[in-house]
Amino acid sequence: MEKILYAPWRDEYVTHEKVEGCVFCHIAKEVDEDEKLHVLYRDEHCFLVMNKYPYTPGHFMIIPNMHTDKLEELPSETWLHMSALAQKSVRLLKEGFGAKGVNIGMNLGAPAGAGIAEHIHMHLVPRWERDTNFITSIAQTRVYSTDFEKIYHKIKNLIPKYI
């Protein structure tokens, strides 16, 4: 007997309109679409955006407005600003969101695991005790324990206090 796993929330992924060119440049330009694009924060150097396919609830990214795939060519001012945002974001995730730990990482280039290799970005992944299991590696499936939109609004509401 064939087993079927229904995942209606994946419908948007399959049917969603594709962006021409760099998705991060698209988000950087669409300043009037922050809610739709799940942008948490913007300034002259960077923006913070929720990861659409998160590892854990609250996973977001710091992305420079400048399109580059080379960290070594990013202006020092932008890199230092991203680092300062990372510090503030860790505090937000720990104090405001209740994370017990945070993974921070950048995958520079497709061979390093970057899903969007053409535009560098920094991941901030909140972590909790026992939040991992084998389902991700065995079944290529992530268990997301809460509603994405609720998490987006919760973190967005924390931004004025921490960023």
Confidence of residue 145 (pLDDT cuts 50, 70, 90): low
What is the mean predicted confidence (pLDDT) over 95-119? 96
Taken as a whole, the chain contains a residue count of 163
Which residue out of 45, 121, 123, 153 is catalytically annotated? 121
Q: Does 26 or 4 have the greater pLDDT score? A: 26
Under CATH, to which class is 8-162 assigned? alpha beta
pLDDT in tens, 27-58: 999 999 999 999 999 999 999 999 998 888 99
26 is catalytic: no
Closest by CA position to 78, among listed 117, 122, 44: 44
Q: What is the mean pLDDT of the chain?
A: 87
DSSP 81-146: HHHHHHHHHHHIIIIIT--SEEEEE---SGGGT-SSTTS--EEEEEE-TT---THHHHHS-----S
Closest by CA position to 150, among listed 77, 58, 45, 73: 58
pLDDT of res. 67: 98
pLDDT of res. 129: 86
Q: Where are the domains of the chain?
A: 8-162
